[in-house]
Chain A
Amino acid sequence: MNTTSNNQKNLNRFASRTVRTAMTCLLFALAPFASAESLLIKGGKVISLSDAGTLEQADILIRDGRIEQVAADLGSIPADTVIDAAGKVVAPGFIAPHSELGLTEISAAASTNDNAVAGQSVGAAFDPSVAFNPHSTLIPFNRAGGLTRAIVTPGSQENIFAGQGFAIKLNGAFDSVAKAGLVQRIYLGEYGGSLAGGSRANAFAQLRSALDEAREYAENKAAIRRGEWRDLTHSVADLEALQPLLNGEQMAMIGANRASDILQVLALAKAFNLKLVIEGAAEGWMVSDQLAAAGVPVVIDAMSNSPDAFERLGARMENAALLNKAGVTVAISGPGYGGSHNSYLSRQAAGNAVAFGLPYEEGVRAVSANVAKIFGLKGGVIAPGEVADLVVWSGDPLEVTSYAEAVLIDGKPQSLVTRSTRLRDRYLKPQPGYGHAYKN
């Protein structure tokens, strides 16, 4: 993988188009771009999410992809590029806690989807990271919306084991899968029950038996491989894939919403010593003390307040606030209706959570630092030594009227041009004739 050429490509893209269109309102001092090794963001309000808290006005010096200094005033310290962020807000790049970015282009077009398999015996071993497409149109769109990293997870309509999730950067580079095999995605609750023959009890039983069998496999690998063992329910590939989960090297991302389901998941995870994150947790607020005591984080859809399923009768807007108050680490995903295409709307969801009682900085944390913390990713904090994934916002990053004016991944300014902005510019004043086709 030639990182240099990818970086150069990004820079060219940035210089040629971004400056002209999407970022015309940002005050960029376009110092020589040729060696953008150092970059200074001057005078913005900095939501650091570090011990330094929120700095009303500060400078951030970035060198070689890392944050080097954060201080109230770095003066005229030399830098290859300077971004004037006066009146703007600088926040860590946002991180989607689950998505299908790079595995889907058009949800209803089967040929463009690689996130799930049907009619195959694979479960836990399914690793879609090799299918990741960094050139998906969803990447620049979500990046322009302020996302710099994401967890990408498979789905399944057949198996409570959907497969393995991975982490990506949204810089569009061929090497932008940051870590594969990060999580096992597992469905329990109503959906798990529907996949397990019609009862959530059997979904739990299937998970238990798979984990039991994975242990049995680990302890008797040689005999099993020699064929001197009882018939196992799961394939060797799936049982191999479950080993990192049993060893605590991989997270279990388990879907559950009903309060009683969440408690059952906690008990099961404790029994197998799983590193657990619960996804959904619509009724998490009812068992927030138990979640906090178990140290189990949650990924929630903070805009889901409708009792749209019997397992979500307790859904409410205060879920994030109540979980946070109890000491649960909360990550907020984009609203379910938006799907992966609008993963970046996690910031709107976080804004809504703040409107319903989540402390403001916790709202920002829920779409950045907490996601990094839960999944062990880089980013999420603005502090010396941290990776320079940053976004300069026109205003409050959780506010629906704000927008990203600059997005940095590994310290590199990213293009904010998307199909959406290209189409907009082509049809700003639609009129008869074929003129539009000659506008790039």
Chain B
Amino acid sequence: MRVHRLKSALPLGLALGGALLLGGCGNGEEKADSKTADFARQDAFPSTYIAAESAPVLIRGANLLTGTGEQLDGADILLQDGKIKAVGKGLKAPRKAEVIDAAGKWVTPGIIDVHSHLGDYPAPAIESSQDGNEMTAPNTAQVWAEHSVWTQDPQFPLALAGGVTTLQILPGSANLFGGRGVTLKNVPGRSVQDMKFPGAPYGLKMACGENPKRVYGGKGTLPSTRMGNVAGYRQAWIEASAYKKKWEEFQKNGGDEPDRDLQMETLAGVLNGDILVHNHCYRGEEMAIMMDIANEFGFQVSTFHHAVEAYKVADLLAKNKVCAAMWADWWGFKHEAFDMTEANIAIVDQAKGCAMIHSDSEVGIQRLNEETAKAMVAGQRAGFDIQPKDAVVWMTMNPARALGIEKATGSLEKGKMGDVVIWSGNPFSVYSKAEKVFIDGVMMYDRDDKSRQPHSDFELGILEAEGVRL
């Protein structure tokens, strides 16, 4: 699967001729023209993830939150050949199917966290494994988060127990361009390739605001101000545009093959729509500026992350089809996080924006359902009619859109990956737990069966030689 996302109504001087279909907010559309260069190098480290064979699973009589805005009570869902085969009432169990009586349980799509550092900032947090921030230059678009992932991070199985089936691992936010993010299936792997979500587009981590200017201002180099940040972005896009043009001319006219440049490849991959921009950006003013930069250079911002002030520019986000990934209630740790309102997600949603929860935390990622619940109630208290069937989209379908994988997962729809969670009760309760978690139709976690609970290598013999960590 390849998803190309380009912006409508762009000055398309830089885009490759031909008709472009509207993309945006992850609502990826296939580009009509043929590609030029493979700047994204999509297959340099190809996914080796293979879902195990599994018998069909029929989950019966649950309350389904579909991720498409519906709640189906007392309904069934059938997983077969790794996919969602059917959703509805009174489904028949195929031969050899495992039938799960889920009366009183709730079922949601697998949770998707668009912002995680698991593996790059693993547990235990010790200096030798802090591999998430290449804080040596303001533009490190050449680094790829997947190359830092320690697959034995014990936080992956904890996130799985919280119902997370897909997550994007991003570089940190010290740099204007932090590097590439990678989308993983939350499955155990000996290599990061074993975890890579097949076909998912790459992300490019960018950062606004305080972090880059603090890190590099502290070193006496550009940027030390927000205006320095913006100059840094624009200069890089100018260079990337030139790089892209050089390769396009080579492909068209031949001649000497230009030198490859890893940093420029990632940026050019954004410019041709293959790589999605995930932009750490708190303030409304900065989001507005970043969207203008995207217009100037002809690319689309997929998502603003940590968008504490998204509510202030919710209409602009909706107009530009840019998603916002937010916390329920984090605030005050930085000045740019001071203007927090708990209704943030709800206001962006009500303005017809693509709103979602995200964690950026090994604690939060285990409880995105609780975080979503708080944001839902804040929306209700603001006077909006937001129900579980709506709020579930914030932790499933909208993050799928942000990652460009919405055609593959994110909702309980026929033909999608069998990424499904059975909850002990309404997922928007502090007392509910993910009981069974399926990825591609395979039960990867069962709270009631210790043999179906993965443990990383790290956890073996760590407190007692013969035990697991607990």
Contact = CB atoms under 8 A, between A and B. Distances in A.
In this complex, the member of B332, B370, B376, B382 whose beta carbon has the largest number of chain A beta carbons within 10 angstroms is B332
Contacts of A440: none
B370 A348 contact: yes
Interface in A337-353: 337-339, 341-342, 345, 348, 351-352
Interface stretch (A74-82, A236-244, A305-313): A305-313
A97 B383 CA distance: 34
B430 A107 contact: no
Contacts of A108: 210, 333-335
B351 A430 contact: yes
Interface stretch (B181-189, B238-246, B361-369): B361-369
Interface stretch (A35-43, A122-130, A207-215, A395-403): A395-403
A121 B342 CA distance: 41
A375 to B, nearest CB: 25
B89 interface: no
A107 B378 CA distance: 24
Contact of B469 (A304, A314, A341): A314
Nearest to B158: A306
Interface string A299-343: 000011111111011101000000000000000000111110110
Interface in A255-273: none
B430 A341 contact: no
Contacts of A345: 329
B427 to A, nearest CB: 11
A106 B338 contact: yes
Contact of A400 (B373, B381, B459, B470): B373
A428 interface: yes
Interface size on B, as a range, is: 35 or more
A419 interface: yes
A313 to B, nearest CB: 6
Given A400-B370, A430-B311, A430-B313, A423 B469 contact: no
B457 interface: no
A313 B124 CA distance: 8
Given A308-B125, A314-B463, A430-B315, A424 B347 contact: yes
A336 B363 contact: yes
A354 B347 CA distance: 32
Nearest to A340: B332
A306 B116 CA distance: 15
Contacts of A247: none
B124 A335 contact: no
Contacts of B351: 429-430
Chain B: interface secondary structure? loop
A50 interface: no
Contact of A423 (B313, B341, B431): B341
A105 interface: yes
B363 A335 contact: yes
A16 interface: no
Nearest to A144: B342
A143 B126 CA distance: 36
Contacts of B361: 337
A420 interface: yes
A306 B362 contact: yes
B221 to A, nearest CB: 20
A307 B124 contact: yes
A341 B331 contact: yes
Contact of A342 (B311, B330, B350): B330
A104 B332 CA distance: 9
A420 B154 contact: no
A304 B382 contact: no
Nearest to B430: A351
A157 interface: no
B312 A427 contact: yes
B430 A352 contact: yes
Nearest to A339: B333
In this complex, the member of B333, B381, B383, B459 whose beta carbon has the largest number of chain A beta carbons within 10 angstroms is B333
A149 to B, nearest CB: 20
A401 B376 contact: yes
A3 interface: no
B428 A428 contact: no
B314 interface: yes
A307 B154 contact: yes
A313 B462 contact: yes
B429 interface: yes
Interface string A420-440: 110110011111100010000
Interface string A391-424: 0000000111101000000000000000111011
A400 B428 contact: yes
A348 B331 CA distance: 17
A99 B428 CA distance: 27
B430 A310 contact: no
A278 interface: no
Contacts of B430: 348, 351-352, 354-355, 398-400
Interface in B115-135: 123-126
Interface string B449-466: 000000000110011000
B20 interface: no
B433 interface: yes
In this complex, the member of B312, B342, B374, B462 whose beta carbon has the largest number of chain A beta carbons within 10 angstroms is B342
B428 A306 contact: no
B339 interface: yes
Nearest to B383: A428
Contact of B429 (A308, A314, A401): A401
A195 interface: no
Nearest to A335: B363
A352 B367 contact: yes
Nearest to A286: B463
B340 interface: yes
B429 A421 contact: no
A398 B351 CA distance: 31
Contacts of A398: 430
A309 B373 contact: no
Nearest to B214: A108
Given A307-B154, A313-B469, A419-B339, A400 B330 contact: no
Given A303-B363, A401-B373, A309 B125 contact: yes
A366 interface: no
A37 to B, nearest CB: 31
Contact of A428 (B331, B340, B347): B347
B8 to A, nearest CB: 20
A138 interface: yes
B155 interface: yes
A34 interface: no
A29 interface: no
A415 to B, nearest CB: 16
B264 interface: no
Given A303-B367, A423-B341, 10 more contacts: A313-B462, A313-B463, A348-B374, A398-B430, A399-B430, A419-B340, A427-B312, A427-B347, A430-B315, A432-B315
11 contacts: A106-B333, A107-B334, A137-B332, A305-B366, A306-B362, A342-B331, A352-B370, A355-B431, A423-B311, A424-B378, A424-B382
Interface of B: 123-126, 154-155, 158, 210, 311-315, 329-335, 338-343, 347, 350-351, 361-364, 366-367, 370, 373-374, 376-378, 381-383, 428-433, 458-459, 462-463, 469-470
Give 3 closest A-B pairs by Cβ, nearest first: A351-B430, A341-B332, A424-B341
